[in-house]
Amino acid sequence: MKDESDENTKKNHRLQETFEEDFGYPLYPERKNPELYKEYSALGWRCVKVIEKRVVKCFTHCPELRILHQALRDHGCDFNLRRNISVEKCEKKVSGGYDPNTNQIVLCYSNIPVSATCKLLFHEMTHAFDDCRAKVDFTKIEHLACTEIRAAAFADCGVLSGFLNNAGFDITDKHKECVKKHALRSIVTARNITEEKGRQVIDSVFDKCYNDVAPFESQKLSEGDYYNKYIRMTKKPETLIPKFRLF
């Protein structure tokens, strides 16, 4: 117990230093000043409530999110929707993020369409899982690049997303190109680095991170694969789980 406590204390101290050294936090004003929510307009509060309702619907009907939720529990990390998901007003450059200081997913109500909530949750839940499983050090650009590669492979370059973005999801090389593009955009937004530096970092860790598909079995699972894996993980009667995806 003592060793575990010492490790958590050390991690919290490191993450507090990250908070003070920027690392993308200015994009999320409420992370430093939680009282800003009091300045929301009536429309702002309405948007928050709409997104919150959508979050519940996503976790009700998306097997991908259920798999990640269960995987977090299996690795000893509790995840509660009220505690670990925060809907906030952010800078225009971002639609969401993961805050390792508080272990919270941030959804930017001012920048995302309601229809994109489930996809964004899938992306950010991957970061939460990586932080839980691998103790990601978000102050290191290589660690950030790795988790962004995995999140892009799962959420941003999936079957439907790849098709809509003309990424050729059925061709491995095209899928990798899509992943690199999304991962690059994410780390350049969160860090003060050039695109050239970002590409170098992504290339240096790409193969290892791209091939790490935990807790899934592939980056490009079909609807049935997600659904059947969730059935196997939970051993729940098939009739109790809706079989469709929201993105």
The set of catalytic residues is 124
Cα separation of 130 and 151, whole Å?
9
Residue 28 CA to residue 18 CA, distance in Å, equals 14
Task: Name which of 21, 125, 41, 19 is nearest 89 in CA terms.
Answer: 41
96 and 124 in contact (C-beta within 8 Å)? yes
Burial 7-19 (b: 16+ CB within 10 A, else e): eeeeeeeebeebe
CB of 108 within 8 A of CB of 96?
A: yes
